[in-house]
Amino acid sequence: MNANRILENITVASLEKCVGRLSKVSAGRWSLADVSVSRGVLSDMSFERRSGESGAAVYFEISGDCPFTAMIIFQAADIKPISKCFLGFAFKGLADANQSAQLLISELGNIILNSFIGSLSNALKRSFIPSAPKCLTGEPRFLLEALAAFLGKEQKYSLVSVMLDLQCDHIVTRAEVVGIIPEKLEAELKKSVGDGEKI
């Protein structure tokens, strides 16, 4: 089993469990949509195609001998329906994101990203200590550039992208989970999981 396939399986398994738990405590139903894994050198990765409407993001930096980063991006227009579906009442939107709205975004990001990080930890049988979650706002392109900022530009990474959908009252909103995984961590995953072994 190649590294991309291992990463995809780990990500899907962890987030399927996570959206199942979130659906139980939300007015809406969370589900997994698109999953993709691409590989390359960060300095060659272009985030231009992700330009667009501003959004809010929560991200973690995981330090150590195999540092990596993970982020979840919410579109600005989705803050209102997400808050309604998760809390039962709606915030006006990102422009009016007060402390309560930021706490909601941080809490959702914390739950979802910790599920992803925990699955990597279990697969490798090693502990990861993420930084405190950080919140940013801006275009997705700039949010992703901030995510990659402290990693080695010339090292090869896999960019893991997963779309999560939340359906509530006939409205579907979408959030994107992004992980930037270094080659060294991929190699350890392949060694730990083993060819042909189920995750």
More confident residue, 149 or 157: 157
What is the domain count for the chain? 1
Q: Are 79 and 93 in contact (CB under 8 A)?
A: yes
Instruction: Record the pTM.
Output: 0.80
| Residue 100 included in any domain | yes
Residue 98 has pLDDT above 80, yes or no: no
| Residue 84: partners with Cβ closer than 8 Å, 6 or more residues away | 27, 90, 168, 169
| Residue 198 included in any domain | no
| Residue 103: partners with Cβ closer than 8 Å, 6 or more residues away | none
pLDDT digits (tens, 9 = 90+) for 102-154: 788 888 888 888 898 888 888 888 888 888 888 888 887 787 777 777 676 66
Banded pLDDT at 155 (limits 50, 70, 90):
confident
| Residue 23 included in any domain | yes
| Residue 37: partners with Cβ closer than 8 Å, 6 or more residues away | 4, 7, 8, 11, 158, 159, 160, 161
Strand 171-182 relative to strand 68-75, pairing? antiparallel
End-to-end CA distance of the chain: 11
Q: What is the CATH number of the domain that holds 61?
A: 3.40.1550.10
Banded pLDDT at 33 (limits 50, 70, 90):
confident
pLDDT digits (tens, 9 = 90+) for 174-196: 888 888 888 888 888 888 876 54
The secondary structure of the chain in percent helix, strand, coil, rounded to multiples of 5, reads 45, 30, 25
pLDDT digits (tens, 9 = 90+) for 40-55: 666 665 565 565 677 7
| Residue 47 included in any domain | yes
141 vs 146: CA distance, rounded Å: 9
Specify the pLDDT at position 8.
84
| Residue 25 included in any domain | yes
| Residue 199 included in any domain | no
Residue 121: half-sphere exposure toward Cβ, Cα within 13 Å: 12
Where in the sequence is the domain holding 159, given as residue range(s)? 3-193
Banded pLDDT at 95 (limits 50, 70, 90):
low
More confident residue, 20 or 4: 20
Specify the pLDDT at position 196.
46
Q: Measuring CA to CA, which residue among 130, 160, 1 is closest to residue 66? A: 130
Specify the pLDDT at position 1.
63
